[in-house]
Structure 1
Amino acid sequence: MYSALKKSFVVIFLLSALAGSVGCLEEKKVMPVDSGKPVVGGTYRRAFADAFIVLDPALIKDSNSHEVCRQIYDGLLEFDEKARLQPAIARDWSISEDKLTYTFNLRDDIRFHHTVAGKPTRNGGRRLDAHDVLYSFNRLLKPQEDSQAAFFWMIKGAREFSSGQAKEMSGIRVVASHSIVFELEKPFAPFVSLLAMCNAFIVPHEDAEGQPGGLAAVPVGTGAFKWAGRDGETIKLAANEQYFRGRPWLEHLEYPVIRDELERFTAFNEGRLSHVDVPDSQYRNVKQDPVRAACLIETNLWGSNYLGLNLQQAPFDNRLVRQALNYALDRDTIVRIVLNGRVQVANGILPPGVPGHNDNLAGYSYDLKRARELLAAAGYPDGKGFPEITLQYNRDAIHSRTAEFILANLRDIGINCVVRELEFGDHLKTVEEGSVAFFRMGWTVDYPDPDSFLYTLFHSSNIGTGYNFSRMNNPELDALLDRARFETDIEKRIAIYHQAEKLVVDEAPWVFLHFYSAHLLHHPAVKGIKLGPMGEALMQYRHIWLMPSGASRLP
């Protein structure tokens, strides 16, 4: 899944000033302010760098939208902060011996939101049952623009249903009021992980179909927080007091838009935000300050930042050119100077921690001599005759600084490159259309499996309809990826993925930049915050609480 930024660190913010305590349900009692135990109340503010947010889970593609919607909706399953699969709407599940049939038993105490933004919902706060799960998957998999259905095409009949060749899908059926069965075409090892994806959130049909604009306008789910409306570009959520796992500690969540990283950091220092990404210019200062360093969370993030090359457009249809660009870039200097050494240079596609990551994969080193040789072999000695190219990226200071180094590196081999900077939504649209030849993009794992990277990003079936933005079409690679996703022996799967990744690296559809890491600086009043290798998209704000404090600023 890509994000509006896909930077090397996480962008999360939180307001430290607390509202008065309010009542709570069941085990969550209001505690004395000096007890050190969770208390109810407060507004949590986390700023995004742009306003691109999709509120309909069936259409989500980016991590910011995922993060917001994870608070509003629930799926059958979810990932915890360590990327471990946990039950959510599903109470438990079983898998048949042939690994083709999955049976899920649902909780019977879950209700959809009764009110949102001060108005009653069309579902009336009714209980969720198995028919809602069936409806949500039919809605996700039906033919539609921007569909994310391809992730689930291993379900029996899903591909035909999504393409309009069949009116019904045979692979999902309700067997009891709170039991549902999924049948697959072939065994697919990470299938249960797909059900924790944001696109698989469960929604009520009354609100999805019965209100103007549907869920994209007024999202309604079962989540710990419910929609409270917008104030300009700021999204507002409120605690769901009827949440089936107990109401969240926080009273409100707010997501303002602050586009400039230094403005975000200033807002944090002024106490208007209590959670922030650390600008590169401030990182060393934060690390050297004992108080701030104690509030800095750093972790590996399972994702990659890359420069995409459209293989259907010249001159990037020439593998020698693509390889030359990879050798021309001084990634180590970019990581050291632009990113303060906070990330790891990418040797391939799969980041450390994801099953199948290959430390022994050589990747590309900084080698101007080799870059010039390859460029000459491609017909462009010393860059002569090479057309001017344009690097497109979404607007962000870190991308601008990185681009300065990239342009300088390309000039060293005789290539003239200019830049085009767009808002994320416009950038994404042109990349998806295939109208841009050279672009920055990033990807973080949707589910912790090599399939989430290699099949999703490079299989030819995902050209145009999926995330194969480089338009790579290699029958040998397709065959390997098809074999790997239906191989149930983990060692055999990993061996196939190693072979597939090496093939991709050799073909160089990307300029491989770096693997992500996640960083956030929080106010000392923020408690219960957790950040794992799947990043901010998996943040569960229901666990966070704010300690009442007279100080609104860090020292």
Structure 2
Amino acid sequence: MKKRTAARSMAALMGAAMMLTACGGGNTTAPTTGASSGGETQTASESAESGKITKTDIVVGQASDIVTLDPAGQQDTTSGVLMKHAYSTLLDVDNEGKVVPDLAESYEMKSDTEYVFKLREDACFWDGTPVTAQDVKFSLDRAKGMPKTKSNTSKIEEVTVNGDHEVTIKLTEPYAAFKTIVTQHNLSILSEKAVTEAGDSYGDVDNLLGSGPFKVTEWVPNDHYTLVRNDNYWGEMPIATSITCRVIPEGSARTIALEAGEIDVVWSVDPTDCANVESNPDVKLLSQPSTGIDYVGMNTQKEKFSDKRVRQAINYALDKQAFVDTIIEGRGLVANSYINAAIPGWTDEVEAYPYDPEKAKELLAEAGYPDGFECSIFVNGDLRTRSAQILQAQLADVGIKVDISTYEWGALLDTLNAGEHEMFLLGWSNTSFDPDGSTYQLFYSGNHGATGNRAFFSNDKVDELILSAQRESEESKRMELYKELQFVLHEESPWCPLYYKENNVGVRADLKGFTLHAGAQHYLGNCHYEE
């Protein structure tokens, strides 16, 4: 998700960029300081003419693979990296977390339930065909019928085409966060013609058609995917000519590959490797507070976890500071709430459950488990497996015996979406910078499973507060509703919030054109090397 203030602000922001290029030409002279830029002041064409560029084929190491090539079929941050580079959305979020234009050069809020988006007239797909208002309508209508976009489209009543380059989106009710919703990668705009012709096979490499700065040319599942520069890109032409994302599950292996020069960027450096990167002059560590949260989720529809006293006992039984100290090497903070401290609406008045094993035992006994019980936890990757081992040891102290099952990323999501789990370890990153992005998908009772509520949690008061906050247009009142919501979630405890960690990215020391994105939606298109 993502965010914005007013239509005239949007128009002003676009003022200097209104000299449009022909669809299929691409803007090769605009300065690379835009929403998805790496923050350099040199343009791609200037750099090429100066002869300074020596390498523009970029290799990235990621911990896990994407789950699909179809934007509407995903909602995970790993897949979102690809979508950011291959597709476009109506609006985007820049490096500082502000909503900026993308396919829509401006928007107007006609009422609290009606938005009009004016599209860029030069925007086109990879093959040079124009992006039209009909493509926008098709994409949003299609997304309404897909599980992983259900929450993002649940308030869309109707999309009306007003001409080739204007659409009206009518909502069923006021939705204060809607302008951030259309920045979501799973609401990327697709070619109606390409998707219709491909049918159920859309998502294969040979039938994709995006409008982003890069084209997908190859995907070898659980190994790598490759993007090449889209010469028909309608926006600022990237400097990088290709991006290869390699799947390297083990954190130390990613760091070693970076230090050896085999890869140029490590998307996420394991905290245990950060010190090594910092001490090596050949590489750099770039860090910033994240907008996400790492947590232990509990399936509230499973008998043992249907009682909030058991869920509260889990919260008391876990020493969250131990996770901060050992798993993320002190590079983060204990999470006190269900919203990250960097997100508006977060409150410090909610206090994290203290580490109190005796209180945990009391609650377990009250719930009918004086001797504890046996259960399982599902995880993925080396880092979360280590977290699960700490959890396993701490819960054993209160009589809970935990079996750890480790999955590949896509398989884990499928299993959680199906509700087969009892407990799980996961993270959630809020790229919208709006508290709706930390609550609606995750805790609303209508969003169980693939839509995001993998705790399968239902609570009337929580639903009421979430919907009331969505309808509230006055910001101060809206933030008060989120404050109350955090207290209710704290009491109900569908999760055990663990920590707010830092985003740690490793790059080669001489790499140019990379800048951190506040929501960890980093853009790789301007990465390159110079003499």
Q: Is the 8 A contact 2:27 2:233 kept in 1?
A: no
* Alignment match, 1:419: 404
* Alignment match, 1:287: 278
Q: What CA RMSD, in Å, does the superposition of the two structures yield over aligned residues?
A: 2.3
Matched, 1:91 2:76: no
1:516: how far off? 3.1
Q: Is the 8 A contact 1:136 1:200 kept in 2?
A: yes
1:369: how far off? 2.2
Q: Distance in 2 between matches of 1:357 and 1:24?
A: 40
1:319 is aligned, of 308, 321, 346, to 308
Please state whether the residue corresponding to 1:92 is helix, strand or coil: strand
Gaps of 5+ in 1: 2-22, 115-124, 157-170, 550-555
1:136 is aligned, of 135, 139, 145, to 139
1:211: how far off? 3.3
Q: Residue by residue, what CA displacement relative to the aligned partner does 1:199-236 show, whole Å, maximum 9, x if unpaired?
A: 22111122212237223444211111112223573211
Say which is worse superposed, 499-508 or 208-217, in terms of deviation: 208-217
Matched, 1:401 2:401: no
**1:48-447 alignment, distance < 5 Å:** 48-96=62-110, 98-114=111-127, 125-141=128-144, 143-144=145-146, 146-156=147-157, 171-211=158-198, 213-217=201-205, 218-230=207-219, 233-276=223-266, 277-288=268-279, 291=281, 295-381=284-370, 384=371, 386-394=372-380, 396-447=381-432
Q: Is the 8 A contact 1:343 1:514 kept in 2?
A: yes
1:430: how far off? 1.6
Please state whether the residue corresponding to 1:315 is helix, strand or coil: helix
Q: Residue by residue, what CA displacement relative to the aligned partner does 1:501-533 show, whole Å, maximum 9, x if unpaired?
A: 111111111121112320011112222212233
1:257: how far off? 1.6
Q: Is the 8 A contact 1:302 1:352 kept in 2?
A: yes
TM-score, length-scaled by structure 1: 0.84
Provide the aligned length of Structure 1 versus Structure 2.
491
Gaps of 5+ in 2: 2-25, 31-42
> Aligned AA for 1:528?
G
1:52: how far off? 3.6
Q: Is the 8 A contact 1:258 1:264 kept in 2?
A: yes
**1:513-552 alignment, distance < 5 Å:** 513-535=498-520, 538-542=521-525, 544-549=526-531
1:80: how far off? 0.6
Provide closer, same or farther for how the CA distance between residues 380 and 274 of structure 1 changes in structure 2, counting only shifts above 3 A.
same
> Aligned AA for 1:182?
I
Provide closer, same or farther for how the CA distance between residues 327 and 34 of structure 1 changes in structure 2, counting only shifts above 3 A.
farther
Say which is worse superposed, 403-412 or 42-51, in terms of deviation: 42-51
Provide closer, same or farther for how the CA distance between residues 83 and 413 of structure 1 changes in structure 2, counting only shifts above 3 A.
same
Provide closer, same or farther for how the CA distance between residues 205 and 180 of structure 1 changes in structure 2, counting only shifts above 3 A.
same
Q: Residue by residue, what CA displacement relative to the aligned partner does 1:259-297 show, whole Å, maximum 9, x if unpaired?
A: 2222211111111112124344432333355x368x211
Q: Distance in 2 between matches of 1:503 and 1:254?
A: 44
> Aligned AA for 1:546?
H
Q: Is the 8 A contact 1:39 1:545 kept in 2?
A: no
> Aligned AA for 1:355?
P
1:393: how far off? 0.6
Q: Is the 8 A contact 2:417 2:449 kept in 1?
A: yes
Q: Distance in 2 between matches of 1:150 and 1:32?
A: 43
**1:489-528 alignment, distance < 5 Å:** 489-528=474-513
Provide closer, same or farther for how the CA distance between residues 60 and 465 of structure 1 changes in structure 2, counting only shifts above 3 A.
closer
Q: Distance in 1 between matches of 2:471 and 2:187?
A: 21
> Aligned AA for 2:161?
V
Q: Is the 8 A contact 1:454 1:501 kept in 2?
A: no
1:368: how far off? 1.8
> Aligned AA for 1:326?
N
Q: Distance in 2 between matches of 1:32 and 1:477?
A: 53
Provide closer, same or farther for how the CA distance between residues 38 and 462 of structure 1 changes in structure 2, counting only shifts above 3 A.
farther
> Aligned AA for 1:513?
L
Please state whether the residue corresponding to 1:51 is helix, strand or coil: coil
Provide closer, same or farther for how the CA distance between residues 131 and 406 of structure 1 changes in structure 2, counting only shifts above 3 A.
same
TM-score, length-scaled by structure 2: 0.87
Q: Distance in 1 between matches of 2:159 and 2:130?
A: 21
Q: Distance in 2 between matches of 1:33 and 1:113?
A: 23
Please state whether the residue corresponding to 2:451 is helix, strand or coil: coil
